[in-house]
Amino acid sequence: QVQLVESGGGLVQAGGSLNLSCAASGRTFRTFAMGWFRQAPGQEREFVAAVSWGFGRTSYGDSVKGRFTISRDNVKNTVDLQMNKLKPEDTADYYCASTPSPSTWSDGRQHDYDYWGQGTQVTVSS
């Protein structure tokens, strides 16, 4: 199994920044990529970003391109999501997830990700 623990959520004003971090432990050798998803109240879970462990290739959801940056630290087994220019519509619970799939990790489909963290809340005030 893979254990994922998110941190770094909180309250921020619109236009501000936050950095989320996800610490992975356990059978991380089976993980090909890590992703961030978010879910706002009453809405479906949405793909935010993903990064491959090996080459550090990245993929982003359309709503966050140019504002969010995902990165990984292979030594620490952590994945960060730097969120800039935050908007009220970025308010959501943010989840870290892992996938063993080398072919579909960048497509942003939830069912390709098999381990999930508990989530961390991000609130952006207007």
Averaged over successive runs of 10 residues, the pLDDT of the chain (126 residues) comes to 96 98 92 96 96 95 97 95 98 97 90 96 97
Centre a 10 Å sphere on the Cβ of residue 71 and count the other Cβ atoms it contains: 14
* Number of residues that this document lists for the chain: 126
At residue 38, the pLDDT reads 98
Instruction: Render 36-70 in DSSP notation, one character per residue.
Output: EEEE-TTS--EEEEEEETTT--EEE-TTTTTTEEE
CA quadruple 114, 19, 24, 38: dihedral, nearest 10: -10
φ, ψ for residue 107 (rounded to 5)? Answer: -80, -15
